[in-house]
Structure 1
């Protein structure tokens, strides 16, 4: 039986020509050489070699594609992103190019994937009304579940860019201070309430100018693509430290991201209307006349292979465009490689909750040493296709 061509994908493959996510890989033959690639089915197309194979279509961008990470490409801006995406689409779909392109396709099983971009800043939001309400009831049972500002602005915090890690990187259980309600004084040691947070991340490409806010309508000019995020959380450390300034050491020890960044343009069909807002929004956040800002991404959370939740990203109260507008409204500038995440994605149903804190109503059990957590997701694409987001997996190791 003849070997199947890498160009001939199985029906319904979520990494087909409508997707084409970007990553960084190395091969066993050249483990030190990191190359930019695009996933196509069960293969990765080596973009660093594509200008030689298709010089007319992509040669002007050869220097960007020869970089060891995505940052130069991210900085190039939307026009270049679209030109390269169109050339890659032609490379994998036009039969006349198969002889030149086939040698540039590497099986996924034979490569190593790396963090695809150098993270500049990391911001995490708190954009799900269902999640915020559930957490408020757990942490503040005698107060209103949502703080009075929650429906007027996207709440967020700055995280630690240096601890953003690529899928497959083990997560060491963090040590820290914690204080149970019955304890007189805090204790120190490994977190006993290690949790996950299923999130969607947005990768900034083109930077912005200091003191110039980024308006809702400029979202596509600055955001290159989307990835899955697991914002690991030590709930016992977080509960003791977060008043009055918010998350710190309970979050900063590790944030896992996918090895693949799905271009924003691949998710056009998945655009949808966000939930109705309860209060009028200030002009810089008012998206009533903008393109639909929500994205229909269906996430699946598995722990040790068992599905525990299916959170719907379309249920998020605040959109990514609103988050970006709020993040810059004070004049803060964007840098190439900035990553901002949605916050935990949760829906209204019991099987749509994006963290163990909610799934167990704060009672646990939480993650044990050796547990492996995997996030996967897909979004509707054109012609009935599915757009797959690269998975995020991490295994918990004991505290050191």
Structure 2
């Protein structure tokens, strides 16, 4: 089939997890024999040095400057077998309306920020999706699974809400044989609602253990954060450098946004990427995590900084390696991009072009 995606960004991973999610999914989808076009709004913060995939080999990437400029791609959209509009697309409400007007095939929505989106819809201030659009999307592919899917159908009128968790390209994300540089690492863009957990599970342990080494990688952290001397900061880490980063940390921390914790069943793409690299994972707690990775066997959930320090100081290396290896096996068995691409293909084939007729009626 021919698939057209209008998403936040494929070309730049700077400050967002969308790019790596789209890259893994669409590369695996194209590998199944499909033709993919990705349309991206050309914005300054994803251009220049921040554009780390300007010419992908698995799809055609094209940029548009404005809503009016998107009109150049009307024939691409109308000629597609399926169209997907992503969350956080600039002017996403109008982009979604145009996609639903132009497309002959089914139009779906992929929400890589589901709990945040639904909270914004409840408040009436979502900038990229309106409530009246949801029934017009043949599928509402959701970053979150569990009870959220029923809510999307019953409260917002989606004809089909389905979990499409983030995934990982396991050809790119795999263990790297490098020495350990840090005892505990975290990779993620700054978010105010994640910061208290990062403080509790990494920064405070670093203050209490000056003999240990810590690292936080990701952009947009405020200048007024008081980083301990044994916490190294990396402002931005390109995806190509992620596997070495994960492999250079004895333990890797996963921190979840507050809305994601409240919804449950909302795994970050970083969770899958780190696990695919064989990282020994520590995480905060949320409903549904144990359906993805087994607590204590594949991931450990420390309750506070003291528990983190105990793990860093006392866990035998054999046990740590076994933890990471078990997580990697689980990812390879259930959470690769190939798994997600197959699920996406089945959903798009099932939706078919008839959805447009029901929408028009």
Same fold (TM over 0.5): no
Q: Which has the higher contact order (CA 8 A, sep 6+)?
A: 1
Band of TM-score, shorter chain: under 0.3
Where is the helix percentage greater, Structure 1 or Structure 2?
2
Normalised by the size of structure 2, how large is the TM-score?
0.27
